[in-house]
Amino acid sequence: MNRIVAKRELAPKIKLIEVENAGIAAKSRPGQFVILHIGEKGERVPLTIAGANPAKGTIKLVFNEVGKSTQQLGTFDAGEEILGVAGPLGNPTVMENFGTVVCFGGGVMIGPLVYEVDAFRKVGNKVITVIGARMKELLICEEELRALSDEFYVCTDDGSEGHQGLDFLKEVFERGKVDRVLVMSVSTATLQAVSEITRPYGVKTIVSLTPLMLDGTGMCGCCRVSIGGQTKFACVDGPEFDGHEVDWELLESRKRMYSSEERISALSYKVFGKEFALLKETA
Amino acid sequence: MTKPNLNQVPMNKQEPNVRRYNPYEVALGYTYEQAIEEATRCIQCKKPGCIDGCPVAIDIPGFIKALAEGDVPGAAQVIWYTNSLPAICGRVCPQETQCEEACNLAKKGAPIAIGRLERFVADWVRENPDESGIFKVKLAKPTGKKTAVIGSGPAGLTCAADLAKLGHRVTIFEALHLPGGVCAYGIPEFRLPKGIVRADVNYLTSVLGVELKLNHAVGKLITVDELLCSGYDVVFLGIGAGAPIFLNIPGEDSKGVYSANEFLVRLNLMKSYLFPVFDTPVKVGRRVAVIGAGNVAMDAARWALRVGADEVYIVYRRTEAEMPARLEEKENAKEEGVIFKQLTLPTRVISDEHGWVKAMECLGMELGEPDESGRRRPVPVEGSEFIMEVDTVIPAIGTQPNPLVPRNTPGLETTGWGTIKADENGRTTKLKVWAGGDIVSGAATVISAMGAGRRAATAIDSWLRDFS
């Protein structure tokens, strides 16, 4: 169980793995996440599911090697096993025929967006897909999404491919009626910016939030977010919420709570590498 | 007849100024000689109260008699006959309100230290597995029945052990990556070393043949109905009361406010006291306020000291006399330097410009008339607002049932508190589904959950023999 059957680099530091877990593959729905436990001393790492193949019994995960745990996960080769994978956790995306749906994916979350676009199409929606990244080199899944979508747009922060910035999105909403928007990004700024663009149009805008998590089953409250003034746990009440109701400042502030420890962790991994893993548990 | 000795043999402990800086177990346990000496104090009464005081009805005089005669394996046999987790119970049971309270010696002096003796026997077995004979149990003839136990905490482990001994096939489903439930994520290393939990779980899997599936969140990965459709004859829900309760005061989402659950999960389950060798960090400031005064609050406060806090407060709205924590834990905490701030009610968490906790606004309280719990109700004193400068706040005011399973199990009725409705044997409103432990009773003790697991196992066994 949890064997990596395929691994691919999609962009510098962005990797896709396909993991064998028949139970999760059978139950997984777009919008849900898994928690990986990659080693005995490891963290519990939440990752949004980027696809599932129930027949083959595998799920797809896309991750960006930014911190210690994702860097370590990046060293796993096809054939190796992940110690533990729990899921599918969180609530699935509400999947209905809304009419016209705009699906926005930023950076590494373009991976899970593929799963969503495919599902929205299958229930009969017209899907307008927009993907964005900092620069051309970091765009992923472009061809796959272009083929799946009714309309397809690309944007980059530096303008190296497609539109520069998010302003062009307004034109999409001006051009025709949009019934629903889904925004996936690990960047709070992006989620907020897209939600602000859609607000004047009164379109229900669903955002997938990625706060820090620990157990992912509603036990600890680490992932609490404020939605319309109410505290919610992203793991069991979310991870998707109404983007027009999110307290963005709090979300971003809580996400940065451990930034200094994250640096220490990444640095010790860089310096000591696998030797750390060999240290005996002292208690 | 000689006069009974009314004084307990004291147990060695780590010194307070040593232990507050390390994560190792505080109580060091009896030596062989101490255990024998304490066991010989037992007067073997004709009508022992201790057995009735024990939620799993261990034959206490029986094991103490064997121990007094130096027959430790014999004592172990007696204990394991009714209790599969004695190393845990010997450490965390509130004996002073159970077996030891009912001890006849307690009327005149100190009761027999039953918990310490149980712990001694259990630890001896762990160190002398072959001599003990405990690991050579004869299981009942296989019945061919398949049972699913959800949750590997005290209720689930006890129910699983009993069902396995009766010849049923048992599979435990645990949502987390380690087994033990509250014993793994909730109770600190310094009270219950995790090696002991591992050993007790190992007894179930390797000796009793129980199958353990980790990372299986029932309600998400698989539902109760799917289990019943896929060949399990019954399901036992021992899923605990794992969801945190916050104070519901302004500022509680500030950085530096942890639910006690989060704080303890980081330290116990993820071992963040060993960061960065272990990957999960925990941030503890210099001045820590733990809100609440139960055992969980004491655990959080004592962990805070051990991971570097200078000053740790237990903030409680009543007085020390009403604190629900065990006397032993209160004393341990005080000895280590935890400061009890009584008659204090936090009303607001104040954070700095970066969103970190910097203080807590509180109200002074006084005790009024007794409420429905019989304790005097705390009432705010007018004009008593004051500011406590703290940089970490840990609400430890209880937990509530996690709705993950009830929400996804049609036909399973719950109460207004979110607990599952069940009769005294754990039978729920849904056919073939039993439940026990904190998910039925609300947050309680390890041993009461074990008692519920045991009663359910007995009921399940007779149902399986009669109806399926």
The pLDDT, as a whole number, for residue A282 is 47
Q: Between chains, do A41 and B278 touch, taking CB under 8 Å as contact?
A: yes
pLDDT per position as a tens digit, A77-109: 999 999 999 989 999 999 999 999 999 999 999
Q: How many residues does chain A have?
A: 283
Coil/strand/helix, residue B270: coil
∠ Cα A21 B404 B186 (to 5°)? 90
Contact B315, B288 (CB under 8 A): no
Q: Between chains, do A220 and B259 touch, taking CB under 8 Å as contact?
A: yes
User: C-alpha distances in angstroms, B348 versus A50, A215, B247?
Assistant: 41, 27, 9
Give the burial class of A125: count Cβ atoms within 10 A of its Cβ; 0-12 exposed, 13-18 middle, 19 or more buried: buried
* Chain B nearest CA to A130, separation (Å): 31
Q: What is the pLDDT along chain B (468 residues), one digit of tens a residue?
A: 567 788 899 999 999 999 999 999 999 999 999 999 999 999 999 899 999 999 889 999 999 999 999 999 999 999 998 888 999 999 998 898 899 999 999 988 999 999 999 999 999 999 998 888 888 877 889 999 999 999 999 999 999 999 999 999 999 999 999 999 999 999 999 999 999 999 999 999 998 999 999 999 999 999 999 999 999 999 999 999 989 999 999 999 999 999 999 999 999 999 999 998 899 999 999 999 999 999 999 999 999 999 999 999 999 999 999 999 999 899 999 999 999 999 999 999 999 999 999 999 999 999 988 888 788 889 999 999 999 999 999 999 999 998 889 989 999 999 988 999 999 999 999 999 999 999 999 888 898 999 999 999 999 999 999 887
Inter-axis angle of helices B154-165 and B446-467, nearest 10: 40
Q: How far apart are CA A153 and CA A206, in angstroms?
A: 19
Question: What does the block give as tokens for B119?
Answer: 């712990």
Which residues, 6+ apart, have CB-to-CB distance to A224 below 8 Å? Answer: A211, A231, A232, A233, A234, A254, B253
Nearest Cα residue to A82 out of A16, A21, A8: A21
Residues 2-61 of A with CB under 8 A from B: 23-24, 27, 37, 41-44
Q: Across the A/B interface, how many CB contacts are shorter than 8 Å?
A: 128
According to DSSP, the residues that pair with A156 across neighbouring strands are A133, A164
Q: Between chains, do A218 and B402 touch, taking CB under 8 Å as contact?
A: yes
Contact A219, B258 (CB under 8 A): no
Q: Between chains, do B279 and A42 touch, taking CB under 8 Å as contact?
A: yes
Contact A114, A93 (CB under 8 A): no
* ipTM over the 0.90 cut-off: yes
Which residues, 6+ apart, have CB-to-CB distance to A95 below 8 Å? Answer: A29, A30, A119, A120, A123
Q: Among B175, B193, B252, whose Cβ lies nearest the Cβ of A217? A: B175
Which residues, 6+ apart, have CB-to-CB distance to B425 below 8 Å? Answer: B434, B455, B456, B458, B459
Sign of the Cα pseudo-torsion (A82, A86, A89, A93, in order): positive
The pLDDT, as a whole number, for residue A275 is 63
Put simply, whether A81 touches B (Cβ < 8 Å) is no
Q: How confident is the model at residue A70 (pLDDT cuts 50, 70, 90)?
A: very high
Put simply, whether A254 touches B (Cβ < 8 Å) is yes
Q: Between chains, do B276 and A261 touch, taking CB under 8 Å as contact?
A: yes
Q: How far apart are CA B418 and CA B434, in angstroms?
A: 16
Residue A274 has pLDDT above 80, yes or no: no
pLDDT per position as a tens digit, A172-211: 999 999 999 999 999 999 999 999 999 999 999 999 999 9
Give the burial class of B437: count Cβ atoms within 10 A of its Cβ; 0-12 exposed, 13-18 middle, 19 or more buried: buried
Nearest Cα residue to B112 out of B162, B56, B53, B39: B39
The three-state (H, E, C) secondary structure of B143-161, written as one string: CCCEEEEECCCHHHHHHHH
∠ Cα A11 A15 A21 (to 5°)? 155
Going by the DSSP 8-state scheme, the letter that residue B423 receives in this structure is -
DSSP characters over A19-53: EE-HHHHHH--TT-EEEEE-STT--EEEEEEEEEE
Q: Between chains, do A23 and B253 touch, taking CB under 8 Å as contact?
A: no
